[in-house]
Amino acid sequence: MNRGPRFLSKNPFTLEVMKEFPFATAAEYNSILDKSQAAYKIHKKLSYSQRAEKLVKLASIIESRKDECARMITQEMGKPVSVAGGEATRIAQFCRYYAENGEKYLSDSSVETEAKKSYVHYEPIGPIFAVQPWNFPLWLPAKSGIPAIMAGNTYILKPAPNVTQTAFLLQELFEEAGFDNGEFQTALFDNELSGNAIADSRVAGVTFTGSGPTGSIIASKAGAALKKVVLELGGSDPFIVLKDAPIEEVAKKAVMGRVANSGQVCISPKRMIIDKSVIKEFEEAAIKHMDAIKFGNPLEGDVNFGPMAREDIFDKIKQQVADAQSEGAKIVFQKEHENASGLYFPPTIMSNIGADSLLAKEEVFGPVLVLMPADDEEHAVEIANNTNFGLSGSVWTSDETKGEEIAQRVDAGSMFVNEVEKIDIKMPFGGTKMSGFGRECGTHGIKEFTNAKTVWIQK
């Protein structure tokens, strides 16, 4: 059945449809899965050094094509070209990190038992089906794909429909590096075929980055098929500011973190929980820094704020702000731009947010900075934990010991003291509660899609 073009590559600045892609057919679906499984049977037999050699080559290739990658990202989802190239840079770092450390992380681990010899042996499990989002269309698939491939698995990427050209570019880069037998493939599956892939015996594991409702559906399907699954879902990250923090500096970091990628970041300061004695000072400083944001064509090098990636995302953030206003929230500041074309949503600061407000409960995936006063440190932690999410967060104070103590009390997969939340290659990344489960990065990430096999040799 011809279901027609459904994957649209549409420029969110010009609103021009650049390219249309049809859904994969049933025959193409089977071809992709068969090819991935066949590639796995060969790839898993390669030595770690052989896989590492290809990753090092991939790092060099993507660095040489960094500008091309940046331009494609900008055209498909609106990220300013001045920062879009950072995705390519991170991939190169990731390649070299796992090329250098992959074998060490997956080497046999001896365990002293009553046996003559006993150890844990890590081995790959097979093709991994990955459903990945649009907000970091190059970096996020690579973040889970590189360690999976280094471990000996193969990888099937189902991209978000609006970043299809970027997904095919990423596949091209992998192929140029020598992963050209189906180790990395882009698959334009619709929802039905994606569900089939999760249940298919040719797929060994599933990884997903995106919203909670979709993550729940994927986890349910993976559970029914008894498949290993990693979920990196949304967040409503607390940004806790104590009264002894350097307010001017902290407010600037809050604004820059909140408007980065036009607020379309899962790990990002979303709820500013500020000691009530300094919240007015913080608000004034935040307004100053938000007013300095530069709009314009994201392909121009001096622009640092781009449009929302799609119409539905623009509409949702607009509705969230309107709903919050109906609950009593107030817009303190909006950075308007009369000549901004495309899907630009004005960077916004809002106050008078109640503990049970939608802006306090929901993930706000746009450039909206929410101010919430706290009576003291205990109250700040209470507000921080009053959410179903648990991805990340930060604490800002001149007392590092106090900041560390508070960080350990916040329910989150990662907490930062005097630093905006971020992903470090060496540290595990993931969430708790409704922000998902499983980990990426570091030694935890490369072991997610491996079989930890006990080997026992009796005396």
Q: Which residues form the catalytic set?
A: 232, 266
Token pair 């935890």 in the structure block, residue: 444
Going 69 to 270 to 324 to 210, the CA torsion angle's sign is positive
Closest CA to 135 of 286, 316, 313: 313
Residue 430 · residue 232 · CB < 8 Å: yes
Going 364 to 218 to 160 to 123, the CA torsion angle's sign is positive
Closest CA to 394 of 271, 210, 265, 225: 271
Residue 109 · residue 120 · CB < 8 Å: yes
Strands of the sheet containing 394-396, edge to edge, are: 330-334, 348-351, 368-374, 271-275, 238-241, 394-396, 416-417
Closest CA to 2 of 18, 32, 26: 26
Q: At what angle do helices 247-259 and 279-290 cross, to 10 degrees?
A: 50
* Measured distance CA(452)–CA(108) in Å, rounded: 10
* Measured distance CA(14)–CA(101) in Å, rounded: 43
Token pair 């889970």 in the structure block, residue: 144
448 C-beta neighbours (distance < 10 Å), count: 23
* Measured distance CA(419)–CA(267) in Å, rounded: 13
From the centroid of its chain, how far is CA 170? 16
Closest CA to 12 of 259, 365, 306, 366: 306
249 C-beta neighbours (distance < 10 Å), count: 12
* Measured distance CA(437)–CA(435) in Å, rounded: 7
* Measured distance CA(160)–CA(137) in Å, rounded: 8
